[in-house]
Amino acid sequence: MVSVALSLVGLYLVRRSVPQEILRETNDIVGNYLQTLGTIYAVLLAFVVFVVWNQFNDARSFVEREANELIDLFRTSKGLPAPTRDQVHARLAHYVDVVLEKEWEAMARGNEPVFEEAAAILDDVWEALEGVEPKTESQGMVQGEILARFNELSDVRTNRLTSGRLKIPLALKILLYTGAITTIGMTYLFAVDRWPFHALMTGAMAGALSHVLHVIHDLDDCFAGDWQVPRSAFERVREYMGKSRVREKAA
């Protein structure tokens, strides 16, 4: 690991340039200072991990809810007249394809123009739904439910896109990395006679902090990286819509 290697290089240089006798005189002072600094930094790390983990779970929840709203809207719109129903189903299926094939990657890269394509598809769905004139009371109830589902879908979509834009502020990132470097650097100032023990202590500290920082960095971008929000919910929607449309054509 690069962080461990760099910390050991720094430790080696400090041990070569500063006599152990000088460091031994300040062991108590350095120990107390490191304890205070480590406590403050540990609280900061725990807070940031808690925040990014909640943001990640919120984004995953929005994806699941949007997928559920799509299925509900698709299923409810079966009560519309055949031409409008087929039009709405085709556009909803197209919307799911655009989200999976284009918008997901765009969320990871922050490519805002791609979002407009999916939004335009939903606008077309709205126009198709709005153009339906219910002829009976039951048709009016169905249309009202469909419009409510569409509004819910639009709201959850907005929440999903917003969750992809949330990032840790730059000032907080600087504080996190500066705190890690300072904490690791403080371990250099302990007078440890045996190099292997000192190296093990410093390397373990560097490895642990770098791993936590990697987790924070990865969770902070919830639609990219190693731990990204899964696409499985939308893939299930696409499979469901595909099978339903095949059955409709067969009927």
Condensed to tens digits (0 to 9), the pLDDT of residues 189-205 reads: 777 777 777 888 888 88
Residue 179 confidence (pLDDT) above 70: yes
Share of the chain above pLDDT 90, in %: 10
Q: What is the DSSP letter of 224?
A: S
**Range of 13-17, 88-92, 182-186, 202-206 with top mean pLDDT:** 88-92
Domain boundaries, the chain: 2-250
How far apart, in whole angstroms, are the C-alpha atoms of residue 37 and residue 242? 57
Quickly count: other Cβ atoms within 10 Å of residue 181's Cβ: 16
Predicted local distance difference test score (pLDDT) of residue 20: 72
66-123 residue pLDDT tens: 999 999 888 888 877 778 888 888 899 999 999 888 888 888 777 777 788 888 988 8
Entry pTM? 0.80
According to DSSP, residue 78 is labeled: G
pLDDT confidence bin for 61, thresholds 50/70/90: very high
Are 185 and 179 contacting, i.e. CB atoms less than 8 angstroms apart? no
Contact at 8 Å (CB) between 129 and 87? no
**What's the pLDDT at 66?**
92
